[in-house]
């Protein structure tokens, strides 16, 4: 029923990507640092092209990824795709070319709308800019369209993904508000200075406060004292004025710890270890090198693998082969150099019990495909009895 009555209509996302981008990427230093580290980490990984297990060193698909359009390099293009994907949960790429793909362009996620079809699946993508709209029809399937949508999983939406910043929305608001509060304190002598207190007395000497004065006091409190911009401002009343000095309460002084905790929550929601961002109080990892390696292994590499796999699935049929696949070159990641060194040492120490092919497989190389791969090479580098080149008979008692 939903699909039937919604045919041909744009589905508007309930989340405002523009607002998320302003409050998060443009105004929050933690979100900005997380997205820059993730996007630049993915963009820094070299990519190789494979047809099943055979590596292809030269191909138009490789040239396309390395120079997607005249205005962008590979790093620029990948960063423009990864940032909106992680931030808002959706990223869009347009391919240009009739018979063969010539150029790739990232499209802004806030300008793209999904048009539903008769079966509830997207039938087209509509892009609006400068008052003009352009539709990209989905023909035989989602991959047979000139626009590719990359979206994160969203359990409550069939058409739009959920961004990481949505899970950290409250933490981002708290962090932004505490920044505004700290700015207000700096502008107002860095502490609440005090208040002018009115102490009128009636004929019997008792203190009193009229209805009009009480209402005015409430309004002035709301307009002049509450909020981050008014932090530290003195309260001015009328009548007999007595100056009362004030200081920061323990709860007010604890906003520094609050900032640190919400900063940790924001970093963790984006998959960035807080230690990598210099946030104190994180003892999960022994040192920065270990935290940075975990960041690449658990966040950057899976994201790079996903992005290149989706691009391969979308572009390969138009580039000559459906089995071609773009894969990140994990051996060229400096953050994982120590882990690779440990693997090499482990394989080298087991040379007396591992065959050549087993050692090559442990290091990520293809088997040799000949009899030498079945030979164990020990410290003496001599073949086993009965192997090719062994002149001694296997049943020699001296052996």
- DSSP string for residues in 98-156: SSS--EEEEE-GGGEEEEE-TTSSEEEEEEEETTEEEEEE--SSTTSSSEEEEE---TT
Query: 241-278 in b/e burial notation, b at 16+ Cβ within 10 A?
Result: eeeeeeeeeeeeeebeeebbebbbbbbbbbbbbbbbbe
pLDDT (tens place) for every residue of the chain, 399 residues total: 444 445 555 544 345 778 878 888 888 899 999 999 999 999 999 999 998 888 898 999 999 999 999 999 999 999 999 999 999 899 999 999 877 889 999 999 989 999 988 777 888 999 998 889 999 998 877 678 899 999 999 888 888 998 888 888 888 888 888 888 777 776 765 455 565 565 665 555 555 667 777 777 777 767 776 666 676 666 665 555 565 665 656 665 566 778 888 888 899 999 998 888 888 766 666 688 888 888 999 999 999 999 999 999 999 888 878 889 999 998 888 877 777 777 777 777 656 667 777 777 776 667 776 766 666 655 445 555 555 555 555 566 665
Looking at residue 1, its pLDDT comes to 41
pLDDT number for residue 13: 39
Other C-beta atoms closer than 10 Å to the C-beta of 341 total: 10
| Domain residue limits, the chain | 2-165+294-318, 170-198+211-255, 350-399
The whole-number pLDDT of residue 130 equals 86
The single residue listed with the structure tokens 């961004």 is 163
Distance of CA 221 to the CA centre of its chain: 41
Distance CA 83, CA 344 (A): 35
- Is pTM beyond 0.85? Reply is no
What is the pLDDT, as a whole number, of residue 240? Answer: 55
Instruction: Check residue 246 and give left, alpha or beta (phi > 0: left; psi -120 to 50: alpha).
Output: beta
């Amino acid at each position: 029923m939903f699909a039937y009555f919604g045919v041909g209509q744009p589905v508007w996302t309930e989340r405002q990507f523009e607002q998320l981008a302003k409050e998060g990427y443009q105004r929050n230093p933690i979100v900005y640092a997380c997205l820059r580290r993730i996007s630049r980490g993915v963009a820094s990984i070299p990519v190789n092209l494979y047809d099943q297990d055979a590596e292809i060193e030269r191909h138009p698909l490789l040239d396309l990824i390395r120079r997607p359009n005249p205005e962008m390099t590979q790093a620029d293009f990948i960063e423009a795709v990864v940032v909106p994907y992680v931030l808002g949960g959706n990223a869009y790429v347009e391919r240009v070319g009739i018979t063969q793909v010539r150029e790739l362009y990232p499209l802004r996620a806030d300008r793209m709308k999904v048009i539903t079809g008769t079966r509830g699946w997207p039938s087209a993508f509509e892009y609006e800019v400068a008052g003009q709209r352009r539709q990209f029809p989905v023909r035989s399937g989602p991959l047979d369209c000139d626009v590719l949508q990359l979206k994160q999983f969203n359990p409550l939406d069939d058409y739009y993904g959920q961004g990481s910043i949505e899970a950290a929305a409250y933490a981002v608001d708290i962090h932004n508000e505490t920044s505004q509060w700290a700015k207000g304190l700096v502008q107002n002598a860095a502490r609440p200075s005090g208040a002018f207190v009115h102490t009128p007395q009636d004929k019997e000497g008792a203190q009193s406060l009229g209805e009009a004065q009480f209402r005015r006091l409430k309004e002035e409190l709301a307009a002049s004292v509450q909020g981050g911009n008014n932090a530290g401002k003195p309260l001015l009343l009328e009548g007999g004025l007595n100056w009362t000095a004030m200081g920061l309460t323990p709860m007010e002084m604890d906003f520094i710890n609050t900032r640190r905790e919400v900063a940790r929550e924001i970093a963790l929601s984006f998959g960035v270890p807080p230690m990598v961002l210099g946030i104190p109080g994180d003892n999960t990892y022994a040192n920065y090198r270990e935290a940075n390696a975990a960041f690449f292994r658990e966040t950057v590499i899976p994201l790079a693998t996903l992005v290149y796999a989706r691009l391969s699935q979308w572009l390969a049929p138009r580039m000559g082969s459906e089995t071609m696949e773009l894969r990140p070159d994990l051996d060229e990641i400096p953050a994982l150099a120590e882990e690779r060194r440990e693997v090499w040492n482990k394989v080298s120490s087991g040379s007396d019990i591992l065959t050549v092919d087993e050692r090559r497989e442990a290091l990520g190389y293809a088997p040799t495909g000949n009899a030498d791969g079945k030979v164990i090479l020990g410290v003496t580098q001599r073949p086993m009895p009965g192997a090719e080149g062994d002149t001694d008979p296997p049943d020699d008692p001296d052996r």
